Amino acid sequence: ALVEEILLASRLDHIKKLERVEPVDLLALTAEEGARSCVDVSGEPGVVSGDPTLLTRLVRNLMQNAQRHGSPPVSAHVGT
């Protein structure tokens, strides 16, 4: 997992623009990751433009950091 993150960071440093930009429902994405991570998710649907893979990694990383460094129970609120 660490090697994958380092490789991703290296690739991101060389990207001049996002290759895949599409509408992403941020609440749905966060709720899906929250279900995998046992994080309670609330908020309102909101669509953002971005790369779904990169946004998923971002949300997953935030949840992992919250679990690692926060106090249970961990929750996330989505707003745009």
pLDDT band per the 50, 70, 90 thresholds, residue 34 = very high
| C-alpha span between 29 and 12 (Å, rounded) | 21
Digit-coded pLDDT (tens) for 9-27: 777 776 666 678 899 999 9
* Structural domain containing residue 33: 20-78
Domain assignment present for 4: no
What does the alpha-carbon distance between residue 34 and residue 60 come to, in Å, rounded to a whole number?
8
Question: Are the C-beta atoms of residues 66 and 30 closer than 8 Å to each other?
Answer: no
Residue 76: both structure tokens together:
């996330």
Provide the CATH number for the domain around residue 34: 3.30.565.10
| Least confident range of 7-11, 12-16, 29-33, 35-39 | 12-16
In order, the DSSP letters of 4-45 are HHHHHHHHHHH-SS-S--EEEEHHHHHHHHHHHHT-EEEE--
